[in-house]
Amino acid sequence: MKYEVRQSKERPGAYIAVAVDNESGAGRKDAGTALFIGPEAKRRAEDYAEWQNGRLEISGEQLLRR
């Protein structure tokens, strides 16, 4: 599973970090989402996706403080 960032179609200015399951063999399926709204929503969604993908060495608490 890998997280990707997408702009929300329903909420202008909001971004979604989407967990995509590419390993099921039955094509691509969305497995979960996290919605980011407000100041720096895109950056926060990207940070969250990177953290979930194991690229950032920060804790969830540190991410929430940013």
Q: Quote the pTM value.
A: 0.68
Q: How far apart are CA 41 and CA 13, in angstroms?
A: 7
Position 45 pLDDT exceeds 80: yes
**pLDDT band of 57, cuts 50, 70, 90:** low
Confidence at residue 44, expressed as pLDDT on a 0 to 100 scale: 97
Q: In what order do the strands lie in the sheet with 2-7?
A: 2-7, 15-21, 29-36
| DSSP per-residue codes, 25-62 | SS--EEEEEEEE-STTHHHHHHHHHHHHTT-----HHH
Contacts of 28 (CB under 8 A, 6+ apart): 20, 21, 22
Confidence at residue 22, expressed as pLDDT on a 0 to 100 scale: 65
22 compared with 56, residue with greater pLDDT: 22
pLDDT in tens, 4-40: 999 999 999 999 999 887 665 555 555 678 999 999 9
